[in-house]
Amino acid sequence: MSRLAAILRQPPVVRAARLVIGAVFLAAALAKVGDPAAFAGQVHNYRLAPVWSEHLLAMTLPWVELVAGLSLVLGVRGRAGAAVTVALMALFTVAVAQAWLRGLDFECGCFGTADASRIGAKKLAENLALLAVAAVAAVRLRPERSGG
Amino acid sequence: MGGFPGEGDTRSSDTLRGAVAIVLTGVVLGLLQNALAHRSRPPSGLAWIKKEVALPQLEAPAPADGGPGAEQPPPSGYGEMSDPLGLREADAGLPDIPDLGRPIQAQLSVVKKFFDARAAVIVDARPRDEYEAGHIPGALCLPYEEAGFDPEALERFDPGGKPVIVYCGGGACELSTNLALRLVEAGKKRVLVFMGGWTSWEAAGYPVERGPEAAGQS
């Protein structure tokens, strides 16, 4: 395990993870950002946030994803972007898990209306995998030169 | 791309600050987008604080002849919407709709009864292209995105004393509820919202009509 951990801490691996999770977040954000009303409906499906906050969530969440995705893909404050994706992926995973356990059946809305995949074990596994990628992306890259 | 070679991350406290900055930037952009949408013509943004619209529910009638087994053939001509013969024939068993001054929720079974008896004006609140892809036979096309912001269109709409049943896609779709609220504001009486909407109508295997609204229908 420690060898796996060592590999996952390699700077090229961390950078690749940042690109991957950044691209996923960008795609997810762009699919949702143009239609907040549709996304609001999907937020409502989760029955997780209080109803009064659903619109506020629906209008801001895609933009947070967008900015985090951009920071990762462009490599500007990449670790901060990765930290945001870790937090969001943890939140999304909990949201999907609770919906699944409560027997709710609806489209996840993860990629807006472009993606018709539904809540279930597969979606949960997908979320856990992305959470792992986000965690690797959040590993601190040490400067190779001092004072650089 | 993923940072220049040799360039490392800053300290953890900076990372935390950066993460907070990313979240705040996203939140500000999202709020800005909605503010701009509110100012656009026609206004389209979301309400800042979502109000829970709890509509009163119409009592479902006793399931005498309800259910998919009682399915009837689709009406052949849509002029029959106002056919008094058809109305008289199936009028029995229709629930009374009180005038509560606000929209009332109705379920599939009730909507089907009114449809069979042609005792209500059915209104499709979805966008026109979705209407044309398939709708309840005889339904009027009154997209919320257009008619909901057009007081004249709401004024012109005359159900002729019949109750109005508004539907949209069903599920999380709120176009029907929104349009129903506007119709009541415009003074229409006895407005029902068909909660299951198009999804449940289609799933029940009930008659379906495709194509644009028939001339003279509205």
Using a CB-CB cut-off of 8 Å, the residues of chain B touching A80 are 14-19, 21-22
B61-88 average pLDDT score: 44
Please state, in angstroms and rounded to a whole number, the distance separating the CA atoms of residues B74 and B3: 65
Query: Band of the pLDDT at A113, cuts 50, 70, 90?
Result: confident
Look at A26 and A111; give whichever has higher pLDDT: A26
Query: Band of the pLDDT at B113, cuts 50, 70, 90?
Result: very high
* pTM for the structure as a whole: 0.61
> What pLDDT does B98 receive?
83
> What pLDDT does A21 receive?
98
Question: Which chain A residues in 59-118 lie under 8 Å from chain B, judged by CB atoms?
Answer: 59-68, 71, 73-75, 77-81, 83-84, 87, 106
Please state, in angstroms and rounded to a whole number, the distance separating the CA atoms of residues A61 and B47: 16
Query: Band of the pLDDT at B65, cuts 50, 70, 90?
Result: very low
What percent of chain B lies above the pLDDT cut of 70?
78
Using a CB-CB cut-off of 8 Å, the residues of chain B touching A63 are 25-27, 29-30, 33
- Residue A22 pLDDT > 50, yes or no? yes
Question: Which chain B residues in 53-72 lie under 8 Å from chain A, judged by CB atoms?
Answer: none
- Residue B114 pLDDT > 60, yes or no? yes
- Residue B136 pLDDT > 90, yes or no? yes
Structural contact between residues A137 and A128, judged by C-beta atoms closer than 8 angstroms: no
